[in-house]
Amino acid sequence: MPLNKVRLVILSVCLVLIGLAVPQSGKSQAAAPPEVKPAIDGIMAVFQSHPLVGMGDYHGLAQEEDFYASIMRDPRFARDVGNVVVEFGDASSQPIIDRFVNGEEVPYAELRKVWSNPVGWIPTVTAQGLINVFAAIRDANLMLPPDQRIRVWLGDPPMDWSKVKTLADARPVLGQRDSYPAGIIEREILGKGKKALVIYGTFHYYGDASLWGIISKAHPGTFFRVTPYAGYVENKCSAAIEEQFSAWPSPALVMPVRGTKLEALFHRADCHFIAPDSMRFPPSTSQEAVATKMAELEDQSSGVAGEALLYLGPASSLTLSPLSPDIYLDTAYRAEIASHVAVRGLPPMKSSVASNPATPRRLRP
C-alpha cells in the first residue's frame, strides 16, 4: 500500500478513536453519585482541609439540634476543633457562658440571659434542642482538662435591652448580625490558627454581605457549608425522592450535591424546598427576576449551592424541637420577652402550653 494511503488509514482510525473518547454534542454523560459518609466522621474529615465548617441551622429542627449535641460529645471535636460559634446566644453574655461551659455553677435566671437576649430571634431562642447544646458542651468539658475544653463563642451582636425603646434603637445592632460574628471568627479563630464549627441559619452563608461572604472575601476557601435536608414542601415529592436515599446511614454527610445525580433529582419543577407563596417581592419586580431569585433560594435551601448535605432521615420522620416552657410558666420573663417583641413592632406573642405539646410535632405535617 502506498505510504500516503497508509497515512490516510491511520489518520481515519485516530479520528474514530477520538470521536469515541469525546462526548458527542448534545449528549451529556451521566452524573456521578455523591459521596456519602456517617455524618460526624464526614465533618471531622472536612476539618482536615477547612478551618471552618458552617452548619446551616434549620431553626427548630429537633434532629439537627440533637446532632449538634452529638458532635460536641465526640472526643475528636474537642481535640481537633475545640471552638463553636453560635447564632443562638447574645454576645453580652459571653462571660456567663464561659463560666457555665467550664463547669461553674450559674443560677438559671442568669444563664437564661444567654439565649433570651439575642436581637435576631423572635420572640427569642425557645428551642429546647438549641439550649441543650450548651449543656452538652458543659458535660463534655467536665471530662477534659481546662486547657483542652471546647470554647463557645456567642455570635449575635451584644444588645443592652435597657437602652432600647424603639425599633430605631435596635437597628444598629440588627445591622451587625453578620459582621459581628465575622469579626469573632477573624480575631479568635482564623487569626489564631484555630478551627471552629459555626452554627447559623442557612441564609447567613450566601451573599457578599453575609457571614460567609465577609469571611470568604478575606479568606477564600476557608468555609465549608453544610445544609440540612428537611424535605420538600410537598410530602409526595419527599417520599418519591427518598427512595434514592434508602441505603444512606442516618445521619449522613452527603457531598457534593452540585454536579451529581442528587442535583438533578432536586431540580424538579413541581416540587419546592420553599413554598412559592411564602416569599414577598416588591410589586415592581419582574417575573424573570422573581424566578431567578426563587431558583437561588431553592438551591440554597436544598443544599445544591453549598458544599454538603446533612441527611437526618426521611422528611416524614423529622420533628420540631420542644420549646422551653419558660415563657408561659414565668410571667415576669414573659413580660420581658414581650417587651422585646413590642419594640420591634411585631404582633404579640402567642406562645402557650397549647402550642407546646409533649408529643413530638412533625416538621412536615
Gap between the Cα atoms of 136 and 101, Å rounded = 9
Q: Is the residue at 344 inside a domain?
A: yes
Beta-bridged to residue 152, according to DSSP, are 84
Show the cell assigned to 249.
446511614
**Quick one: pLDDT at residue 9?**
38
Does the predicted TM-score (pTM) go above 0.85? Answer: yes
Beta-bridged to residue 198, according to DSSP, are 54, 85
SS3 223: strand
Q: Is the residue at 25 inside a domain?
A: no
Q: Is the residue at 286 inside a domain?
A: yes
Q: Is the residue at 206 inside a domain?
A: yes
- Could you tell me the residue range of the domain that residue 245 belongs to? 35-352
Gap between the Cα atoms of 235 and 260, Å rounded = 23
CATH code for the domain in which residue 185 is found: 3.40.50
Q: Is the residue at 17 inside a domain?
A: no
Phi, psi of 217 (to 5 degrees): -65, -40
Q: Is the residue at 30 inside a domain?
A: no
Encode the chain (365 residues) as per-residue pLDDT tens digits.
443 443 433 334 333 333 333 343 333 456 788 999 999 999 999 999 999 999 999 999 999 999 999 999 999 999 999 999 999 999 999 999 999 999 999 999 999 999 999 999 989 999 999 999 999 999 999 999 999 999 999 999 999 999 998 999 999 999 999 999 999 999 999 999 999 999 999 999 999 999 999 999 999 999 999 999 999 999 999 999 999 898 999 999 999 999 999 998 899 888 999 988 888 889 889 989 988 999 999 999 999 999 999 999 999 999 999 999 999 999 999 999 999 999 888 888 887 898 899 999 999 99
Number of structural domains found in the chain: 1
Q: Is the residue at 184 inside a domain?
A: yes
* Residue (of 100, 113, 224) closest to 152 by Cα position: 100
Gap between the Cα atoms of 51 and 250, Å rounded = 25
Q: Is the residue at 178 inside a domain?
A: yes
